Amino acid sequence: VKRSDKGECGTPFVVVNVDDVGMCHGANQAYLELRRLGAVDSGSVMVPCPWFLEIAEAGALEPDLHLGIHLTLTSEKRHYRWRPLTRATAASGLIDSNGFMWASVAELRRNAHPDAVEAEMRAQIETFLAAGLTPSHVDGHMGGVFSPEFVDRYVSLSLEFELPTLFPATIAAYGPKHNLGAVDQDCYASAAERLVNAGEVLATKALETPWHRNEPAPERYQNLFNQVEPGLNFVCLHANAPGEIKAIEPDSAQIRIDEYEVLKDPSFRTWADRLPVRRGSLREAK
Q: Is residue 37 part of a domain?
A: yes
Q: Is residue 4 part of a domain?
A: no
Q: Is residue 47 part of a domain?
A: yes
Domain span at 106: 13-285
Tens of pLDDT along the chain (286 residues) come to 333 333 345 799 999 999 999 999 999 999 999 999 999 999 999 999 999 999 999 999 999 999 999 999 999 999 999 999 999 999 999 999 999 999 999 999 999 999 999 999 999 999 999 999 999 999 999 999 999 999 999 999 999 999 999 999 988 888 777 778 777 788 888 899 999 999 999 999 999 999 999 999 999 999 999 999 999 999 999 999 999 999 999 999 999 999 999 999 999 999 999 999 999 999 999 7
CB atoms within 10 A of CB 8: 16
Q: What are the start-end ranges of the E strands in the chain?
A: 13-21, 42-45, 67-71, 138-140, 205-208, 232-237, 278-279
Task: With CA atoms as reference, report the closest residue to 68 among 22, 136, 4.
Answer: 136
Q: Assign residue 181 the CATH number of its domain.
A: 3.20.20.370
Q: Is residue 2 part of a domain?
A: no
Q: Is residue 211 part of a domain?
A: yes
Using CB atoms within 10 Å of the CB of residue 80, give its burial: 0 to 12 exposed, 13 to 18 middle, 19+ buried: middle
Question: What is the reported pLDDT for 5?
Answer: 31
The total of structural domains in the chain comes to: 1
Q: Is residue 1 part of a domain?
A: no
Q: Is residue 7 part of a domain?
A: no
